[in-house]
Amino acid sequence: MDNSERAAEPKISNPAPLAGVRVLDLSWLLPGPFCTHVLVELGAEVIKVERPDGGDYLREILPAAYALVNRGKRSIAIDLKSESGRALLDELLENTDVVVEGFRPGVAARLEIDYATLSARHPKIIYASISGYGQTGPLALLPGHDINYLARGGALSIPAHWQEGPRRSGLPVGDLSASLYAVINILAALLSRDTSGRGAHIDLSITESVLHWSQVRFADHDEHAGEDWHHVRPGNDIFTTSDGQPIAIGLVEEKFWRNFGEASLWPEAPQIAHDFENASSEVTRQQLGNRLRTELTQHISQHDLAHWKRVLQAGDIPFSTVSGSEEVFSDPHFVARGVVSSITTQGGERIGSAALPGGLYAGSQTPAPVIDEHGPTIRAELLEIAKRTRAGTSKQETCLAAT
């Protein structure tokens, strides 16, 4: 049995590594909720603390995305502007390990729920602040969205296609990168707390998350020398077939250029094949890039997608069809690996869902909550804890009096 025929190994649902870890999620939209979504997938209990007057408005603007990144969480509505609301939050913090918030810098302090205030009463708390530019610095108080953070962090200066300017990805790269950096820092803080006994404040800037990725491209580019970007190559791009289908082809290493020439060019386009032979190194391919790109574009446009799939696969050449959502969630490869499924939104719509990469933990299939769905239960749990605490205190006082 080869790898393509091997059945997917079942994911392990227990014991999850973060079982027993409680997280209070005070954030909304995407950066914070995606971070806590990953923590849920790793076994943490996440309580979503929402404003009573509408809660997380991702529900309204992108309801399917809300359903994806908030599944497995419990929701409680708390007015953090009121004393009673802050008192309720403080009760929750008694048994909480991590707080994730996405307020603009300064807001949490005004509400008296910032790290300095909370850690004075709960010194073991790990408190992650996710903001556009960080809690300090000249830009800290500026508003922003993903496009602003991508621009400031350098990503929107980096091209991806031959002889074309930079373009923005359809993915919210800044938001999602910050989410994952927040997870990394939270996991590190939990590990550190095991030995130090102390919590930590994580000041996570979305823009700095982008910068940490952008540096990988900036490293080999001398802007002052007017150099071309070395990662942009004429054969490593998206082309269009004769039937109008996009296909991604990765002609980067020498062997793949050679394979492409042998599989497709010599039989029917010897002049282009000759140009390929002349471009026998990375340097010459970059120098002849405009000509090679034009020839490749014209040649690939002569045949349909089915033809190119046969030729490229037979020639062991990196290629991929460009998948939309329907193709992704029915892709035989993903199905065989057991990483795609579907979930139901609050409106009853079935949407595709992808498992946490790595294959170790099954994650949660519990639907995302409506606002305050678990509020009564959580409040009842807090009352029960308070009763047990009072009962224990009374018993201790009685024993002391008897002695």
pLDDT tens figures, 93-103 = 999 999 999 99
| Rounded Cα–Cα distance for residues 6 and 2 (Å) | 6
pLDDT tens figures, 151-177 = 999 999 998 888 888 888 999 999 999
> pLDDT at residue 12 above 70?
no
Provide the sign of the torsion angle of the four alpha carbons 318, 324, 329, 330, taken in this order. negative
Question: 73: exposed, middle or buried (C-beta count within 10 Å: 0-12, 13-18, 19+)?
Answer: buried
> pLDDT at residue 5 above 70?
no
Q: In terms of Cα–Cα distance, which of 237, 252, 254 is closest to 297?
A: 237
Q: Tokens 């960080």 sit at which residue?
A: 134
For residue 306, what are the contacts with CB-CB under 8 A and spacing of at least 6? Answer: none
| Rounded Cα–Cα distance for residues 215 and 153 (Å) | 9
pLDDT tens figures, 255-311 = 998 899 888 887 777 878 777 777 778 888 888 889 889 999 999 999 999 999 999
pLDDT tens figures, 46-57 = 999 999 999 999
Host H or E run for residue 248: strand 246-250
pLDDT tens figures, 322-377 = 999 999 999 999 999 999 999 988 888 899 999 999 977 877 889 999 999 999 99
> pLDDT at residue 77 above 70?
yes
pLDDT tens figures, 359-372 = 778 778 899 999 99
Q: What structural domains does the chain harbor?
A: 22-220+340-372 (3.40.50.10540), 246-321 (no CATH)
| pLDDT for 155 | 95
Q: Kindly provide the residue ranges of all beta strands, DSSP E only, lying in 317-385, ordered along the sequence.
A: 319-321, 340-344, 350-354
**Under a CB-based contact definition with an 8 Å cutoff, are residues 157 and 166 in contact?**
yes
| pLDDT for 282 | 81
pLDDT tens figures, 218-266 = 998 877 656 678 888 899 999 999 999 999 999 999 899 889 988 888 7
Catalytic center residues? 175
